[in-house]
Amino acid sequence: MKSIKLLFATLIIGSFLSSCTVFLEDNIIVDDFSLEEIVSGHDLWYIDYHRTNGNGDIPYVSKAFTLSFVNGTLYANNNIVDIGRTGNGLGIDVGTYNTFNGLLETNHDMDGANDFEITVLSNNEISLYNYRQNVNYYLIGYQVNEFDYDKLFYENIEYFLQEYIAWKKVDAQGGIPNAFDDENHLAFTPENITTFYSSQDDFGTQVDYINWNYVGGYEIFDVTGYEDLKILTLNYDGGDIEEFELSVINDGKIRLYNVNSETTYDFSGRGFVQYLKGGKSKKEAKDIVRNDNRKRTKIIRKTKNRRNLK
């Protein structure tokens, strides 16, 4: 597909100085749009971070799952949990933006000023390039009522798992008795996307007092032919390995199907971790907030075939 690029203001005269011309790579002019119309033309811009290229980083973009540009105000969804509800779907106010001389100028409350060149790739896809950091981000546009929540959850499932301090086992169905039956709590550290903890503490244990009995590494795999299913392997430091089919029930519950014992476990999130603008954390009555300096990294997953076709 040919990409559509913006002709910047140096090529624009008179009263149209603040507008940009959209044209195809072969220089066939299509139409005139203002940059403001482009960035505000969709309620939400999903940051397809795994396509990011370049060697630099803009911290607030790396932390966000979506950005929105509304009447000069810059919004971001830094959490997967509660997305669609926070800020009526737009997220939290993180700064301001302006369109000038063909550039998208942003001023983030914590990260300061950053300018981007915009390339329009399709009617709902753009790229943001920051020359100073030499980094290019790819954004997919949606209206709030059309947002692809499945894509968000499953493409970023490692980060979803981090958004609760603990996952509490709330149900177990079927299967044969196995060692994982005794595991009542799981946790996935926000410091990386490879470390997990598990606990056999009683179900009623308060989240801050859970004794994490075991630690190990975990890996999540794509599943051939399935967009709404992952495979999770837990590699305990003691040498044991557990493998599960992982699916998302909602933004507070996950389901693990043990492919060896054929047991289905449901886990509910406890202690929602809210990632804000950066810097200090904000604690609310229903939330437990940890370090909000989490950034996404590019995830290139391996693929497995589904073993048990239920």
Residue 214 inside a domain? The answer is yes
Indicate if 179 and 42 belong to the same structural domain.
no
Domain range for 216 is: 155-304
**Are the beta carbons of 292 and 78 closer than 8 angstroms?**
yes
Indicate if 132 and 160 belong to the same structural domain.
no
Indicate if 45 and 160 belong to the same structural domain.
no
pLDDT of residue 119: 93
Residue 278 inside a domain? The answer is yes
**Are the beta carbons of 279 and 269 closer than 8 angstroms?**
no
Choose the final residue of a domain: 147, 166, 182: 147
pLDDT of residue 239: 86
Choose the final residue of a domain: 147, 169, 190: 147
**Residue 266 exposed, middle or buried by CB count within 10 Å (0-12, 13-18, 19+):** middle
Indicate if 48 and 178 belong to the same structural domain.
no
Indicate if 102 and 207 belong to the same structural domain.
no
Indicate if 253 and 162 belong to the same structural domain.
yes
Residue 68 inside a domain? The answer is yes
Residue 310 inside a domain? The answer is no
Indicate if 124 and 177 belong to the same structural domain.
no
Beta strand 135-142 with 53-54: parallel, antiparallel or unpaired? antiparallel
Choose the final residue of a domain: 147, 180, 215: 147
* Cα 91 versus chain centre, distance: 13
Indicate if 14 and 81 belong to the same structural domain.
yes
The three-state DSSP-derived secondary structure of the chain is CCCEEEECHHHCCHHHCCEEEEEECCCCEEEEEEHHHHHCCCCEEEECHHHCEECCCCHHHHHCCEEEEECCEEEEECCCCCCCCHHHHCCEEEEEEEEECCEEEEEECCCEEEEEEEEEEECCEEEEEECCCCEEEEEEEECHHHCCHHHHHHHCHHHHHHCEEEEEEEEEECCCCCHHHHCCEEEECCCCCCEEEEECCCCCCCHHHCCCCEEEEEEEEEECCEEEEEEEEEEECCCCEEEEEEEEEECCEEEEEECCCCCEEEEEEEEECCCCCCCCCCCCCCCCCCCCCCCCCCCCCCEECCCCCC
pLDDT of residue 185: 98
CATH assignment of the domain containing 294: 2.40.128
Nearest to 6 by CA among 42, 32, 26, 41: 32
Residues of the chain with pLDDT under 50: 1-32, 279-291
Residue 210 inside a domain? The answer is yes
Indicate if 109 and 51 belong to the same structural domain.
yes
Beta bridge partners of 116: 104
Indicate if 188 and 262 belong to the same structural domain.
yes
Residue 240 inside a domain? The answer is yes
Indicate if 172 and 284 belong to the same structural domain.
yes
Indicate if 167 and 298 belong to the same structural domain.
yes
**Are the beta carbons of 246 and 231 closer than 8 angstroms?**
yes
Residue 309 inside a domain? The answer is no
Domains identified in the chain, total number: 2
pLDDT of residue 101: 84
pLDDT of residue 292: 54
Residue 142 inside a domain? The answer is yes
